[in-house]
């Protein structure tokens, strides 16, 4: 199997852009991209997409939004992050479904990956309060890392801060991430 950066671009531009994309760097330096990582290899998630239930969950969004509004407000106040930004991220990530699971294993309202959850002390990613608190802390750290640059923080939330840094502190050229940033900023009212 040869590395294929052109294949990655074609994959991103095709309808398959709604799949999580993983990257593997082989010991010989060859780089591989896939939407179906093989077990036993150290694949890293580089592009995260919405849970498969997202469109279905939209019809329950108004009820769930009000259900979790107090938790979101509490986390926003506690961590000094704008509640409107948290609402925008949660709407884009999970449509307010606390049980949402992506194909890559991101879970909950703020779609936390296992490593991110561990990093922020989230023991149960399905617990809405823990999920919101961990996701809020992560977003706050991204805002600090990128000097309050909202576009970069939101891009980092989607693609990982490493991807933003790799592209010299710009929004990575992944169509899914660029669309995600536009969506979140629009929902936030800053787009």
First CA to last CA distance, the chain: 41
> Of the listed 93, 129, 161, 176, which one is catalytic?
93
Q: What is the CA radius of gyration of the chain?
A: 16
Alpha-carbon dihedral sign for residues 189, 157, 9, 17: negative
Strands 31-34 and 21-25 come out as antiparallel
Please enumerate in sequence order all residues whose Cβ is within 8 A of that of 2, keeping only pairs 6 or more positions apart, or say none.
30
Which of 37, 38, 90 lies closest to 66, judged by CA? Answer: 90
Structure tokens at 101: 């699971």
93: annotated active-site residue: yes
With left for phi above 0 and alpha for psi between -120 and 50, is residue 160 left, alpha or beta? left
Query: Which parts of the chain fold into alpha helices (H)?
Result: 5-13, 54-57, 61-79, 83-94, 114-119, 128-145, 150-159, 161-166, 175-188
- Show which residues are catalytic: 93
């Amino acid at each position: 199997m040869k590395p294929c950066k052109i294949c990655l671009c074609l994959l991103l531009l095709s309808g398959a852009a709604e799949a999580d994309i993983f990257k593997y760097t082989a010991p010989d330096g060859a780089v591989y991209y896939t939407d179906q990582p093989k077990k036993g290899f150290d694949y890293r998630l580089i592009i995260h997409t919405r849970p498969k239930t997202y469109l279905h969950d939209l019809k329950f969004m108004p009820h769930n939004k009000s259900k979790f509004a107090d938790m979101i407000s509490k986390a926003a106040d506690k961590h000094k992050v704008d509640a409107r930004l948290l609402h925008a991220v949660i709407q884009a990530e999970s449509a307010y479904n606390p049980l949402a699971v992506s194909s890559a294993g991101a879970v909950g309202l703020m779609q936390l990956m296992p490593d991110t959850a561990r990093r922020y002390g989230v023991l149960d990613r399905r617990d809405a309060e823990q999920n919101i608190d961990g996701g809020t802390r992560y977003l706050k750290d991204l805002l600090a890392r990128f000097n309050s640059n909202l576009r970069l923080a939101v891009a980092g939330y989607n693609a990982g801060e490493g991807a933003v840094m790799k592209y010299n502190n710009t929004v990575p050229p992944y169509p899914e991430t660029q669309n995600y940033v536009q969506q979140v900023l629009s929902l936030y009212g800053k787009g």
